[in-house]
Amino acid sequence: MNHYKPTDKLAKLIHTNHFLLPVINRFGFRLGFKDKTVEQVCQEQNIDLNFFLTIVNTYTDEDYFPQNELVSFSPVLLIDYLIKTHEYYRNYLFPEVERRLERLLSSCQGTCDDLQLIKSFYNKYKEELLKHLEEEEQNVFPYVLALLKAYENKQALPKKYANYSMKSTEPEHTNVDQKIYDLKNIVIKYLEPTYDDNDCNEFLFAIFQFEKDLLDHARIEDKILLIQVLEIENAIQHG
């Protein structure tokens, strides 16, 4: 698979993978970029080019793994990006899924027990995912920032983080990834068709999009952030 490069036009990125739309928004890029290339837009907006390319390529190719020299951008940039993604889930994707679910529920004729079960499954899932995001924001990201500061200033890591390591701190993704798949699967396989088809499709489209974004997001945390942090943890231990 060909990966995006600095000389590609930003418009081409969107034509070939429209799921990148919210991703480029998180970098502050908005539509109307004419024939500008990735390199030009990054320069104009003061965005680290390697960082941008690593993210869009990770979102486009599941097997993409950036070369070492490409991962040399600061973890601070990555954490800022990951937090923006969490906000996107809280402020846009959750409410959007819920709007579509309510519409689906109100289109239901007769007994709608199955749909009520879907709703309670979704609510439990949401609670679990919110807990996951919070754990990262309250434990993982502050640890990485403290680690980076200690490394850069050649200081000791605050006592509070003495027993922390990236591998033991980052919560598992398997559970949250599996459950959103299960949610889709129950609707596709077992839901009694007593609802409006278009409303149900709209609900599923939103879940598919959410699932894709979550998988890509988890890959960035499990691969890219992890490599960066392991490198600093090693340097501190051996430094």
Residues in contact with Fe ion by CB under 5 A are 136, 221
- How near is the Cβ of 92 to Fe ion at its closest, in Å? 15
- How near is the Cβ of 154 to Fe ion at its closest, in Å? 29
DSSP assignments along 47-90, one per residue: --HHHHHHHHHHHH-TT----GGGGGS-HHHHHHHHHHHHHHII
Specify whether the backbone of 47 is left (phi greater than 0), alpha (psi in -120 to 50) or beta: beta
Other residues' Cβ atoms within 10 Å of the Cβ of residue 103: 16
Q: Which is nearer to Fe ion, 170 or 199 (CB)?
A: 170
Q: Which is nearer to Fe ion, 221 or 233 (CB)?
A: 221
Q: Which is nearer to Fe ion, 199 or 221 (CB)?
A: 221
Q: Which is nearer to Fe ion, 27 or 195 (CB)?
A: 27
Q: Which of 239, 229, 83 is nearest to 169 (CA)?
A: 229
Asked if 5 and 11 count as a contact pair (C-beta separation under 8 A), the reply is: no
- How near is the Cβ of 173 to Fe ion at its closest, in Å? 6
- How near is the Cβ of 88 to Fe ion at its closest, in Å? 11
CA distance 85 to 95: 15
- How near is the Cβ of 150 to Fe ion at its closest, in Å? 23
Q: Which is nearer to Fe ion, 213 or 233 (CB)?
A: 213
Look at residue 8 and give its three-state secondary structure: coil
